[in-house]
Structure 1
Amino acid sequence: MASSLSTSLVTFKVKRQDPELISPAKPTPHEFKYLSDIDDQDGLRFQIPVIQFYPKNDVCLASAKDPVDIIRKAIANTLVFYYPFAGRLVEAPGRKLVVECNGKGVMFIEADADVRLDEFGDALRPPFPCLEELIFDVPGSGGVLNCPLLLIQVTRLQCGGFIFAIRLNHTMSDAQGLVQFMTALGEIARGAVSPSIIPVWQRHILNARDPPLPTFSHHEYDVVPDTKNTVVPLDDMVQRSFFFGPQEVAALRKHMPSQCTTFEMLTACLWRCRTIAISPDPEEEVQMICITSVRGKSNPPIPEGFYGNAFALPVAVSTAEKLCNNPLGYALELVKKARRQVTDEYMRSLADFMVTNGRPHFAVVRAYIVSDVRHAGFGDVDFGSGKPVYGGPVGGTPWIASFYIPFKNSKGEDGVLVPVCLGGPAMKKFVVEIEKLISNKPSADSETPMSHNSIKSAL
Structure 2
Amino acid sequence: MAAAAVTKSPPALVPPAGPTPGGSLPLSSIDKTAAVRVSVDFIQVFPSSAEATKDQAASVAAMREGFARALVHYYPVAGRIAEPVPGEPEINCTGEGVWFIEAEASCSLEEARNLERPLYIPKEELLPRPPPEVRVEDTVLLAQITKFTCGGFAVGICFSHLVFDGQGAAQFLKAVGEMARGLPEPSLKPIWARDAIPNPPKPPLGPPPSFTAFNFEKSVIEISLDSIKRVKDQVASETNQKCSTFDVVTAMMFKSRTLAIDFAPDADVRLGFAASTRHLLNNVLPSVDGYYGNCVYPGGLAKTSQEVKDVSLVEIVTAIREAKDVLSTRFLDWMSGGAKENHYNVSLDYGTLVVTDWSHVGFNEVDYGFGEPSYVFTLNDDVNIVPSVVYLKPPKPKQGIRLVLQCVEAQHSKSSCSPLSNNYFHSLGRESGKAPAQPARRQTPPTDEREREREAMAAVAAVTAAAAAAEPTVSKSAPELVPPAGPTPRGALPLSSIDKTAAVRVSVDFIQVFPPATGGPAADGQEDAVARMRDGFARALVPYYPVAGRIAEPAPGDVVVDCTGEGVWFVEATASCALADVNNLERPLLIAKEHLLPRPPPEEKLEDLILMAQAKEALAARFTDWLGGGGGGDHYDVPLDYGTVTVSDWSRVGFNEVDYGFGEPGYVFTLNDDVNIVASVIYLRPPAPKRGIRLMLRCVEEPHAAAFADELAKFA
- The worse-fitting range, judged by mean Cα deviation, of 18-27 and 29-38 is 18-27
If the length of structure 2 is used for normalisation, what is the TM-score?
0.54
CA distance in 1, matches of 2:133, 2:390: 28
Does the C-alpha gap of structure 1 residues 93 and 59 become closer, same or farther in structure 2, counting only changes over 3 Å? closer
CA distance in 2, matches of 1:280, 1:11: 43
Pick aligned residue for 2:257 from 266, 274, 280? 274
Residue 420 (structure 1) aligned with residue 405 (structure 2): yes
2:248 is matched with which residue?
Answer: 265
Aligned length: 433
Deviation readout 1:371-428 (Å, 9 max, x if unpaired): 323332222211111111113434766543333222356xx44211111113333333
Structure 2 unaligned regions, length at least 5: 441-453, 472-716
Q: Does the CA contact (< 8 Å) of 1:395 and 1:420 recur in 2?
A: no
1:67 is matched with which residue?
Answer: 59
Does the C-alpha gap of structure 1 residues 19 and 29 become closer, same or farther in structure 2, counting only changes over 3 Å? same
- The worse-fitting range, judged by mean Cα deviation, of 295-304 and 305-314 is 295-304
Residue 183 (structure 1) aligned with residue 174 (structure 2): yes
Q: Does the CA contact (< 8 Å) of 1:299 and 1:344 recur in 2?
A: no
1:318 is matched with which residue?
Answer: 303
If the length of structure 1 is used for normalisation, what is the TM-score?
0.81
Pick aligned residue for 1:339 from 302, 324, 329? 324
Q: Which has the higher contact order (CA 8 A, sep 6+)?
A: 1
Shift of 1:324: 3.0
1:441 is matched with which residue?
Answer: 437
Shift of 1:178: 0.7
CA distance in 2, matches of 1:297, 1:451: 34
1:105 is matched with which residue?
Answer: 97
Residue 164 (structure 1) aligned with residue 155 (structure 2): yes
CA distance in 1, matches of 2:27, 2:60: 31
Deviation readout 1:128-182 (Å, 9 max, x if unpaired): 43222101444465653xx211121111111112111101111111111111110
2:313 is matched with which residue?
Answer: 328
Shift of 1:57: 1.7
Residue 431 (structure 1) aligned with residue 420 (structure 2): yes
Deviation readout 1:291-314 (Å, 9 max, x if unpaired): 211122224155221000112111
SS of equivalent to 2:413: helix
Does the C-alpha gap of structure 1 residues 419 and 101 become closer, same or farther in structure 2, counting only changes over 3 Å? same
SS of equivalent to 1:249: helix
Q: Does the CA contact (< 8 Å) of 2:392 and 2:401 recur in 1?
A: yes
CA distance in 2, matches of 1:350, 1:279: 39
2:223 is matched with which residue?
Answer: 244
Residue 364 (structure 1) aligned with residue 353 (structure 2): no
Q: Does the CA contact (< 8 Å) of 1:41 and 1:359 recur in 2?
A: no
Does the C-alpha gap of structure 1 residues 352 and 402 become closer, same or farther in structure 2, counting only changes over 3 Å? farther
One-letter amino acid of the counterpart of residue 411, structure 2: P
Pick aligned residue for 1:403 from 390, 397, 405? 390
Q: Does the CA contact (< 8 Å) of 1:287 and 1:316 recur in 2?
A: yes
Shift of 1:455: 5.4
CA distance in 2, matches of 1:322, 1:177: 37
Shift of 1:275: 3.0
Residue 48 (structure 1) aligned with residue 31 (structure 2): no
CA distance in 1, matches of 2:359, 2:332: 23
SS of equivalent to 2:400: strand
CA distance in 2, matches of 1:57, 1:373: 25
Q: Does the CA contact (< 8 Å) of 1:63 and 1:384 recur in 2?
A: no
RMSD: 3.6
1:199 is matched with which residue?
Answer: 190
Q: Does the CA contact (< 8 Å) of 2:35 and 2:161 recur in 1?
A: no
Over the matched positions of the two proteins, sequence identity in percent amounts to 26
CA distance in 2, matches of 1:275, 1:451: 16
Q: Does the CA contact (< 8 Å) of 1:379 and 1:392 recur in 2?
A: no
Q: Does the CA contact (< 8 Å) of 1:400 and 1:421 recur in 2?
A: yes
Does the C-alpha gap of structure 1 residues 443 and 455 become closer, same or farther in structure 2, counting only changes over 3 Å? farther
CA distance in 1, matches of 2:174, 2:82: 27
The structure number with the bigger radius of gyration is 2
Does the C-alpha gap of structure 1 residues 126 and 61 become closer, same or farther in structure 2, counting only changes over 3 Å? closer
2:369 is matched with which residue?
Answer: 384
Does the C-alpha gap of structure 1 residues 272 and 194 become closer, same or farther in structure 2, counting only changes over 3 Å? same
Q: Does the CA contact (< 8 Å) of 2:45 and 2:375 recur in 1?
A: yes
One-letter amino acid of the counterpart of residue 291, structure 1: A
CA distance in 2, matches of 1:140, 1:286: 44
Pick aligned residue for 1:457 from 458, 469, 472? 469
